[in-house]
Amino acid sequence: MSDDDSYEAMLAAVQAFHDKHDFKNTGGEDMTYRVALMAEELGEISACVTKGKDKAQLGEETADLLILLIGTAIAADFDLRAAFWKKMDVLMKRQSRMVDGRIRVSEFRDMGAE
């Protein structure tokens, strides 16, 4: 992995994009707007999968979502890398189950346990 592939490089590139378009002062960092954009990208990823698009197009749409996620961390001022590793620690401790023929990893809270 080169330095250009580091999380810091990706974070700096997305920050430069936000700065170039003045997202902070033009509504581009509004959380409701960002969630809508992420939902739009998920729809485009879904279309790639369900319509059998090639891997390059799936990669492009997934990169759009990653850029939005990194930008959301910038806009909301949190450390996405730290949040990722904290969540991975939690996920690695969870159990898995087969649900409808597919693996599912979750807390599996029983409905009556609350």
Print the domain residue range for 58: 3-81
Q: What is the mean pLDDT of the chain?
A: 93
| 73-94 pLDDT per residue, tens | 999 999 999 999 999 999 999 9
The structural domain count of the chain equals 1
68: in domain = yes
Question: Which domain CATH number covers 46?
Answer: 1.10.287
Q: Is 76 within 8 Å of 24 (Cβ atoms)?
A: no
109: in domain = no
| 44-83 pLDDT per residue, tens | 999 999 999 999 999 999 999 999 999 999 999 999 999 9
92: in domain = no
28: in domain = yes
Q: How far apart are CA 95 and CA 41, in angstroms?
A: 30
